[in-house]
Amino acid sequence: MMRAAFNDALKEALKEKDQCAVSTIRLILAALKDRDIAARGNGKTEGIGEDEILGMLQTMLKQRNESIRMYEQGGRLELAEQEKAEMDVIRRFMPQQLDEAEMNAAVESVVKEIGAKELKDMGRTMAALKEQYAGRMDFSKASGLVRQMLA
């Protein structure tokens, strides 16, 4: 479903002559193709799944956040603005992110569900969160919440 959305968005961006959207969607499609090729080596002939695509988009957003920070520190504001525009394009394909209250409730639910009680259960807890909330949660913030709950 997401693959079709990428292709449809690319066609629309080409029609509208939105150069930023065209280049960003092409980057997404290229990254997706790379991951599909790597997945074939692991026996997944149809490519990666939706949850892995969401994870890929999440990674692309993190990379751009880091680039923005570095560009701003280096005084390259025009490049930082370009990265922000690319982030806006990537976010079009992401599901609605959980807010703080929803994230707290989700973390509490998963901690109870898997029976996590101490800090050594953090890995299992984060794995369960990533499985259930791929692309919908900022896992760096979730990690802090899990750490607080299990400490």
Q: What CATH number is attached to the domain comprising 43?
A: 1.10.1510.10
Indicate the pTM of the whole model.
Answer: 0.73
In which domain, by residue range, is 29 found?
2-91
Whether 81 and 122 map to the same domain: the answer is no
The residue from 53, 69, 91 where one domain ends is 91
Whether 67 and 7 map to the same domain: the answer is yes
For 89-111, b/e burial (b = at least 16 CB within 10 A) is bbeebeeeebeeeebeebbeebb
Say if residue 116's pLDDT is above 90: no
What CATH number does residue 111 fall under?
Answer: 1.10.10.410
Say if residue 127's pLDDT is above 80: yes
Determine the pLDDT at residue 66. 95
Whether 60 and 113 map to the same domain: the answer is no
Average pLDDT over residues 135-139: 79
Query: 127: which 2 tokens?
Result: 């794995």
Longest dimension (CA), the chain: 54
The mean predicted confidence, pLDDT, of the chain is: 90
Residue 76 DSSP class: -
Query: 123: which 2 tokens?
Result: 């890995």
Q: How far apart are the first and last CA of the chain?
A: 40
Average pLDDT over residues 95-111: 87
